[in-house]
Amino acid sequence: MAAISTERRPDVHEAQPPDVRQYYAINQSVYGWFARYYDAVTRPLRRLRREVVALAGAPGGARVLDVATGTGAQALAFADRTAEVIGVDVNDAMLAVARRKPRPDHVSFVRADATHLPFPAGRFDVTCVSFALHEMPPSVRDRVVREMARVTRHQGTIVVVDYALPANRLASALTSRLVRLYERDHYAEFVRSDLPALFEGVGIAVRADHRTLLGNVRILVGDKVT
């Protein structure tokens, strides 16, 4: 793999607003201890990982970036038939778990802040982020999606996988209450936010808006058109 430039400064927090500083601080304190349990807790998502790969439709030999990769489960699901998969994350404990997993040579894990991805424009055929945008303050979320669009080639694919609310109002209210027990800060605003508009604002045309796991998870697939 080519050396990763560190010129785009990773996680620079000092000059950030309080909600952004708090989000980075929570990231370090929570994932610092949760990393070792993360794969056990998210084991039921294994089938979903394959579904995401199928919906992304990466061409053979594709270069894939998994943003906020955590312990690398989604990155590793992209390993078959691709030429390169890079998972980036800002948390060393999560990356340490990812790096301990068996993986082919073309899969690697890099420490980087998704708001300042250390890659040139158009470097990847497919860029994916799963279960991370809901943790971010809106300003950070916007920046991450903009960065994903920047590093994806023209006509390349951008995939967002994250929480959604079921269409049924009772199920939606129950889900929302349940998830808010452990996703406290930005989830409630995130699940009601307009992700297709966020895509369109950075030059991504929505190709598919797929709901799965009883409507509790959304897989939004877009094509970079500008």
Q: Rounding to the nearest 10 degrees, give the CA dihedral for residues 43, 47, 52, 55.
A: 180
Is residue 91 involved in binding ligand SAM (CB under 6 A)?
Answer: yes
CA atoms within 13 A on the CB side of 174: 9
Among the listed ranges 86-94, 118-126, 175-183, 210-218, the one in contact with ligand SAM (CB under 6 A) is 86-94
Is residue 127 involved in binding ligand SAM (CB under 6 A)?
Answer: no
Residue-wise over 27-50: b if at least 16 C-beta within 10 A, else e?
beeebeeebeebbeebeebeebbe
Q: Which of residues 27-46 bind ligand SAM (CB under 6 A)?
A: 27, 31, 42
Is residue 89 involved in binding ligand SAM (CB under 6 A)?
Answer: yes
- Rounded (5°) CA angle 187-52-72: 75
Which one, 14 or 226, has the nearer CB to ligand SAM? 14
Residue-wise over 72-83: b if at least 16 C-beta within 10 A, else e?
bbbbbbbbeebe
Among 62, 65, 77, 90, binds ligand SAM (CB under 6 A): 90
Which one, 38 or 166, has the nearer CB to ligand SAM? 38
Among the listed ranges 129-137, 151-159, 167-175, 193-201, the one in contact with ligand SAM (CB under 6 A) is 129-137
Is residue 113 involved in binding ligand SAM (CB under 6 A)?
Answer: yes
The binding track of 174-213 with respect to ligand SAM, each residue x by CB under 6 A or -, is ----------------------------------------
Among 124, 131, 163, 190, binds ligand SAM (CB under 6 A): 131
Instruction: Residue count of the chain, please give it.
Output: 226
Is residue 132 involved in binding ligand SAM (CB under 6 A)?
Answer: yes
Find, among 121, 130, 195, the residue nearest to 154 by Cα. 121
Q: Are 97 and 35 a contacting pair, CB within 8 Å?
A: yes
Sheet holding 107-111, edge to edge: 107-111, 82-89, 62-67, 124-130, 152-163, 217-224, 204-212
The residues of the shown chain that bind ligand SAM, judged by CB under 6 A, are 27, 31, 42, 68-70, 73-74, 88-91, 94, 113-115, 130-132, 135
